[in-house]
Structure 1
Amino acid sequence: MESAASSPQRARAVGRGDKMRAVVLAATITELTKGGYAAMTVDGVAQRAGVHKTTIYRNWKDSDSLVADALTKHFAVEVPIPDTGAVESDLRELACSVVTTMTSEAGQALLATVLAEAGRTPKLAEVKDAVFGDRFRRAEIVVTRAVERGELPPDTNSTELLKTLVAPIYFRLAFTGERVDETTAGQAVRVALAAAHAGALPAA
């Protein structure tokens, strides 16, 4: 890491507004990846991002807010929402993106953060809920389009279908440690579609 003496020059290079926020959020992800949630500090993020600590506190009320924003933005970018014109290929791309993202070094570290630490840190449990809630809201359009095309029953619950899709992937990653790959993604798609067509995922 660079010395504190170089911070003013680095802070000017970072800039303000959206550019500054992007740099700080990227630094937060790096800090989480390298040391985990317990070791992450606002000081460390500030030094890595090249900004003053007060800059961070002006934009985020505390470290948990910073982590929540960083994780939400990271997963929104790393798992794009597909639009192939068919629900099966849309869900397959979505599942494969989850596999690719969560098996990376950063993905594994971030998964450990939102799952393992949430049980010990109530505020981080809220972070986990916010991250996954945002993920499902962004992906709802995949199910909405499929219903409009007549590929899924009209009363299909989009959130439940998406949970059914990703559940076997996250179960292997978080609990059993089994290998996950495109085959896992394909199986998850077939299970999710079968459940929807069987009427097992009705809207509330």
Structure 2
Amino acid sequence: MEQETRLTESQPVPHDHAATPGTLRPGGRTAKVRRAVLDATQDALADTGFHALNMDRIAASAGVGKTTVYRRWGSPVGLVTDLLHDMAEQSLPAADTGGLTGDLRANAELVRDTLTDPRMGAVFRAVIAAAACDEECARALAAFYRTRLAEWAPVVTRAAARGEIPEGTDPVELLRAVSAPLYYRFTITHEELTGAVTERAVTAALAAARDGAFLRE
């Protein structure tokens, strides 16, 4: 039985929901439990990475009964999956600077600021490592980026309407071209992500877009 001094959910989570973390948006005590557990998960990923993620330690750190954590999230993969859903929901909205150059620069700077942040950079490194070896984590990470790309897609659509780039430019492909060089340096070569790197990525992606490189087929 869970100790009364720990956070517990007011009602049990149905088994089918527990098998798919992040599909609920609970309120009240259940929301507090989820917030505490996801914060503890993020801390653990930043400190020790995915492979050291331990359900019992997450429960203790969050002040939540172990039974609740195992019932709702099931495994470390379930924790990471739900954390990614939460991160997508909490991400900042897209910029609207009035021009595509400014919007893409804001996007690139957001990516760079996230990856170079000591805490969030470590979290993303751990999540990317988890996705490389677990299919469920990979799907969750892909869903996270689909959500973020969809949030930023209107900046490309507006730019095409203003005549800055050709009509029919694929927003997702253009946005990927901006962030891809940053993630390459972050995950593969471990090079410093400087302002110059960010600006070069924006300039190259814009030039390609104006030449029609990202037109939908």
CA 1:44–1:81: 2 relative to 1, 3 Å: farther
CA contact (8 A) 1:80 1:94 kept: no
2:207 matched to 1:175? no
Instruction: For 1:47 and 1:80, locate their aligned partners in 2 and report how far apart those are by CA, in whole Å.
Output: 33
TM-score, with structure 1 as normaliser? 0.84
1:9 counterpart SS class: coil
Q: Which of 157, 181, 184 is the matching residue for 2:170?
A: 157
Q: CA deviation at 1:26?
A: 1.5
The answer to whether residue 159 in structure 2 is matched with residue 146 in structure 1 is yes
1:192 paired residue among 205, 209, 215: 205
Is the 8 Å Cα contact of residues 94 and 107 (structure 2) preserved in structure 1? Answer: yes
Q: 5+ unaligned residues in a row in structure 2: which ranges?
A: 9-27
How far residue 10 of structure 1 moved from its aligned partner, in angstroms, is 4.1
2:17 is aligned to none
Q: Which runs of 4+ in 1 moved over 6 A?
A: none
Structure 1 stretch 58-67 or stretch 183-192: which is displaced more? 58-67
Number of aligned positions between the proteins: 199
Q: Is the 8 A contact 1:161 1:201 kept in 2?
A: yes
RMSD after superposition:
2.6
Q: Which residue of 3, 8, 12 maps to 2:4?
A: 8
Kindly indicate whether the alpha-carbon contact (under 8 Å) linking 1:79 and 1:94 is maintained by their aligned counterparts in 2: no
* Contact 1:32-1:110 within 8 A present in 2 as well: yes
After superposition, what is the alpha-carbon deviation per residue over 1:96-119, rounded to whole angstroms, capped at 9, x for unaligned?
A: 111111112223322322333333
Structure 1 residues 43 and 19, CA gap change in structure 2 (3 angstroms) = same
The answer to whether the 8 Å contact 2:104/2:202 transfers is yes
Contact 1:101-1:107 within 8 A present in 2 as well: yes
Give per-residue Cα distances to partners, 1:79-111, cap 9 Å, x unaligned: 542122221111111111111111122233223
1:64-143 mapped onto 2 (5 Å cutoff): 64-74=77-87, 77=90, 80-143=93-156
Provide closer, same or farther for how the CA distance between residues 65 and 91 of structure 1 changes in structure 2, counting only shifts above 3 A: same
Contact 2:81 2:136 in 1 (8 A): no
**5+ residue gaps, structure 1:** none
Q: Distance in 1 between matches of 2:69 and 2:94?
A: 30
> Hey, what's the Cα distance between the residues in 1 that align with 2:82 and 2:165?
33
Output the TM-score relative to the length of structure 2.
0.79
Q: Give the percent of matched residue pairs that are identical in Structure 1 and Structure 2.
A: 37
